[in-house]
Structure 1
Amino acid sequence: MTLDTRPRCIALMGPTASGKSAYALELAERLGGEIVSVDSALVYRGLDIGAAKPTRDEQARVPHHLIDVREPWQPYSAAEFARDARVAIDAILARGRIPILAGGTGLYFRALLDGLADMPEADPASREAITADADARGWAALHADLAVVDPAAAARIHATDAQRIQRALEVQRLTGRPISDWQRESTRVRFPARVLKLVLSPADRAVLHARIEQRFDVMLGAGFLDEMRALRALPQLRAHPAPLELPAVRAVGYRQAWEFLDGACDAATFRARAIAATRQLAKRQFTWLRREVDARWFDPLAQRAQLDDAVAGFIGKLAP
């Protein structure tokens, strides 16, 4: 067997509100590492409180990468993320430090660690037509259309995941081939490091649900709605023809806050909808995580010693 001499890298995966960010920060300080965010909301400037973005103090304690790299009205694809993350990881390794990948965006992790198919670029005209169709019939109807032309993709994509439904239909219409075919043909580029995949998740789903609810209330108390008002006031968002379809605004909690400030519901209903949307996000994340057959699962509270042992066994002795 050939000895794998690549440097080491840790991937901290898990559902939202599972404690990934806190453990990543602690590990980075103990190991002399740097954090690469694998989160599709943290890439956007202005999405701070509602996205649970690391604070300025936390970012000053440990270098963080792939945070605040786009404005909230700008697109940012998984392919762009993979490219930018590889640049950051190569630089971290060149400094002799350990990259710690932390986040819950499965598509970003797959793009980075496994590679993406060489699919066609986004086509504005096609996307505009699909969005207009969705406005007229709803995304559930478009998901049903997708199930006809690409059952495999429809089975993986939730009926409310507008971004992925749009992309799957776009690729199929542009090329005449299902996006699932393109994805099966993805070219793997060897990752530059050995990766220890760790999934952090409370063993009791009720504990996670309680953490989600508590964290959202903390966000509200910290000024989440004021943050949303500031985003809505940005000229680029005010001028956008369909701001609720922007990936940044579709981030969990933000869409519900936007609708609340539009007067679509009362405060109690807004809170309930945002918490429910976050739970649905966690459910989708569990579906992705269960496919990571080489990942090791730990309850970050009940199994903290075992979690530390797994890291120490991979890296070497942990600093106190």
Structure 2
Amino acid sequence: MINNGVCTLRTCFRFPERSLFPSLQRSFTFRRRFLVTASQRKNKEKVIVISGPTGSGKSRLALELAKRLNGEIVSADSVQVYRGLDVGSAKPSPDERKEVPHHLVDILHPSEDYSVGQFFEDARQATRCILDNGRVPIVVGGTGLYLRWFIYGKPDVPKASPVITSEVNQELAELQRNEDWDTAVQLVVKAGDSKAQFLAANDWYRLRRSLEIIKSSGSPPSAFRVPYDSFREQGECSVTEDSESSDMNTYGDGMEETSSSELDYEFMCFFLSSHRLDLYKSIDYRCEDMLLGRDGILSEAQWLLDAGLHPNSNSATKAIGYRQAMEYLQRCREQGGQSSAAEFYKFLFEFQKASRNFAKRQLTWFRNEKIYQWLDGSKPLETILSFINGAYHDWNGSLRVPEHLRMSRAISNRREETQIKSYRTRNRHFVKGEDCSHILNWISKTQR
């Protein structure tokens, strides 16, 4: 019916429980939600989310945007939470943090683990605090699972009681001390979580958490539905079963108009990237830069080893860059504080390769996150800032990226694909054997 020029639906209208046209029933449900929530959107508070692969420039973009919008930054980086891990996580400088308030930076010692569930609680609390203070929350980082839970919510997994936590720690403590990962995995598999065998090696936190969930609920973690899955399935239904509702979608993807209306904030999500070859070059140069000076990533890796931590043993020491640097310094110590130029270049190669592979995984992950608008990071920063700033102030529930700023989610052509496959690193600072002599001298003095 038409009421004052607005199309409404009778609340008494219902499909029979077993409809003869199930696809029509689902289509009607999504269309009704879209019409009802279009007016409600104006009342929802806006949250900006900026992501991108490592080395894409997202942190700089977020910092400059926060200055323009009177914003505060919430870090969605799984390494920036740790004190002392500054260079390898590209942490904002003290001056930048004075200029713009940052949240969830330097909140833990590297010996402590930090989970996606903890991030969800901390980031949501920080966001609420920023909004209550009349400022704009800008969430920035490249940890995909952190951002997915932040936007869509976390699964309703039971929290373990202190008794169960203590019991699990006792069961796994000796196995962890003996580094008997395989036996620990089999213990959890027998307890009821067959997917434990697919966990990354030495991910003791997730293994413990799996056993806690089984003991608390009688079910493995996979039995608990993740909110994101529901949004994704709704979006897929709207696209495949209702082409007309897909045409109404201003994002160009059925998932957003049919499901983002149910989110508690108005999320404006941007993914900053550039052409893959340019990104790879930027990452390689960035890795080199982290090794320059007296207080580079090797110094931070030394501090982790001196603190009694081992590479790949917890969240902090698994981080790309730190793991490779710790392993390299550990080998140097075993050799009496000695390293050849060839050994250094092997470490640098592994560091750069791991960083590029991480960027590739980030691109793959966010390619499937349809709520993000992809922006071309090679464009002038001022142009990108002006677009996001204008979109924030003129927001009416829809967003279209202009053609000159739009970045394709996929590799554009076969030629680019061939160039990526044949890519070879060309360093700027470390080219010849003597270019790393100052690092080898530092190792001989400090790693005996």
- TM-score using structure 1 length: 0.82
Q: In the TM superposition, what is the alpha-carbon distance from 1:139 to its structure 2 partner?
A: 11
Q: In the TM superposition, what is the alpha-carbon distance from 1:274 to its structure 2 partner?
A: 1.1
Amino acid paired to 1:166 = L
Cα distance change of structure 1 residues 138 and 253 upon mapping to structure 2, 3 Å threshold: farther
Q: Which of 166, 177, 202 matches 2:207?
A: 166
Contact 1:150 1:179 survives alignment (8 Å): no
Amino acid paired to 1:221 = L
Q: Which of 77, 81, 98 matches 1:60?
A: 98
- Aligned-residue Cα RMSD (Å) equals 3.5
Cα distance change of structure 1 residues 61 and 307 upon mapping to structure 2, 3 Å threshold: closer
Q: Which of 58, 63, 71 matches 1:25?
A: 63
Contact 2:75 2:141 survives alignment (8 Å): yes
Cα distance in 1 for residues equivalent to 2:386 and 2:204: 37
Q: In the TM superposition, what is the alpha-carbon distance from 1:172 to its structure 2 partner?
A: 7.6
Cα distance in 1 for residues equivalent to 2:175 and 2:373: 39
Counterparts of 1:210-289 in structure 2, within 5 Å, are 210-222=281-293, 223-234=296-307, 238=308, 244-263=312-331, 266-289=343-366
Contact 1:18 1:208 survives alignment (8 Å): yes
**Structure 2 residue aligned with 1:99:** 137
Which whole-Å deviations, capped at 9, do the CAs of 1:103-155 have from their partners, x for residues lacking one?
0111211222222223254642455477579746599999x99xx9349x95x
* 113-122 vs 205-214, which moves further: 113-122
Contact 1:140 1:160 survives alignment (8 Å): no
**Structure 1 residue aligned with 2:280:** 209
Cα distance in 1 for residues equivalent to 2:316 and 2:94: 21
Which whole-Å deviations, capped at 9, do the CAs of 1:168-191 have from their partners, x for residues lacking one?
864686466443331447899x76
Cα distance change of structure 1 residues 279 and 104 upon mapping to structure 2, 3 Å threshold: same
Cα distance in 1 for residues equivalent to 2:346 and 2:269: 37
Cα distance change of structure 1 residues 131 and 171 upon mapping to structure 2, 3 Å threshold: same
Cα distance in 2 for residues equivalent to 1:133 and 1:114: 39
Cα distance in 1 for residues equivalent to 2:202 and 2:152: 22
Gaps of 5+ in 2: 1-35, 232-261, 333-338, 396-448
Q: In the TM superposition, what is the alpha-carbon distance from 1:285 to its structure 2 partner?
A: 1.5
Q: 1:282 aligns to what SS in structure 2?
A: helix
Amino acid paired to 1:263 = R
* 169-178 vs 269-278, which moves further: 169-178
Q: Is 1:37 paired with 2:101?
A: no
Amino acid paired to 2:290 = M
Which whole-Å deviations, capped at 9, do the CAs of 1:82-115 have from their partners, x for residues lacking one?
1111121111101111000000111211222222
Q: In the TM superposition, what is the alpha-carbon distance from 1:232 to its structure 2 partner?
A: 2.0
Cα distance in 2 for residues equivalent to 1:224 and 1:160: 24
Q: Is 1:179 paired with 2:221?
A: yes
Say which structure, 1 or 2, has more relative contact order (CA 8 Å, 6+ apart): 1
Cα distance in 2 for residues equivalent to 1:140 and 1:267: 35
Cα distance in 2 for residues equivalent to 1:268 and 1:118: 47
Q: 1:35 aligns to what SS in structure 2?
A: strand
Cα distance change of structure 1 residues 165 and 95 upon mapping to structure 2, 3 Å threshold: closer
Gaps of 5+ in 1: none
Q: How many residues align?
A: 305
Cα distance in 2 for residues equivalent to 1:56 and 1:30: 20
Cα distance in 2 for residues equivalent to 1:46 and 1:201: 28
Cα distance change of structure 1 residues 88 and 306 upon mapping to structure 2, 3 Å threshold: closer
Amino acid paired to 1:273 = E
Amino acid paired to 1:249 = T
* 169-178 vs 78-87, which moves further: 169-178
Cα distance change of structure 1 residues 40 and 252 upon mapping to structure 2, 3 Å threshold: same
Cα distance in 2 for residues equivalent to 1:291 and 1:253: 26
Cα distance in 2 for residues equivalent to 1:208 and 1:180: 35
- TM-score using structure 2 length: 0.60
Cα distance change of structure 1 residues 137 and 84 upon mapping to structure 2, 3 Å threshold: closer
Q: 2:379 aligns to what SS in structure 1?
A: coil
**Structure 1 residue aligned with 2:393:** 315
* 126-135 vs 76-85, which moves further: 126-135
Q: In the TM superposition, what is the alpha-carbon distance from 1:307 to its structure 2 partner?
A: 6.4
Higher radius of gyration, 1 or 2:
2
Cα distance in 1 for residues equivalent to 2:140 and 2:114: 18
Q: In the TM superposition, what is the alpha-carbon distance from 1:200 to its structure 2 partner?
A: 0.5
* 247-256 vs 132-141, which moves further: 132-141
